[in-house]
Structure 1
């Protein structure tokens, strides 16, 4: 029963990663990359590694997204398409 859920989450990771590369808007690409990290944290949780899942959610999805958004704002590219 766990295998289909893992495969679904892995497919979501791949889809988010491809979208992060393919999207032309930097803001949308950053959000998509954050979703890939969030799906990775969910997959770690399903694989019974809660400590790795918490670290991935905090650093991979949380902190890195804020750093990217801060850099996007500082470069003056915020809101430009």
Structure 2
């Protein structure tokens, strides 16, 4: 039974990672990256590494996507400000 859950978790990670690579919009990439972080946290928990899973949940699914979304927002605002100056 444990092997089945590991295979399912690995397939979910592969699907989420593929979606993260295939997505072109940076905001959507950040959201898919958050989903990938959650799925990786589940994988680590299934592999009996709950401490690594909790770290992945905090950093990979919350902090990193948030920083990416803030950076995209700032870059887009600067781009709009430069267009207005012209």
Gaps of 5+ in 2: 78-86
Moved over 3 A (4+): none
Query: Aligned partners of 2:59, 2:28: CA distance in 1, in Å?
Result: 19
Structure number with greater Rg is 2
Return 5+ residue gaps in structure 1 as ranges: none
Whose helix fraction is larger, Structure 1's or Structure 2's? Answer: 2
TM-score normalised according to structure 2 size: 0.81
Q: CA RMSD in A?
A: 1.3
Instruction: Provide the C-alpha distance between the structure 2 equivalents of 1:75 and 1:29, rounded to a whole number of angstroms.
Output: 15
TM-score by length of 1: 0.85
The aligned runs of 1:48-63 (5 Å cut-off) are 48-63=48-63
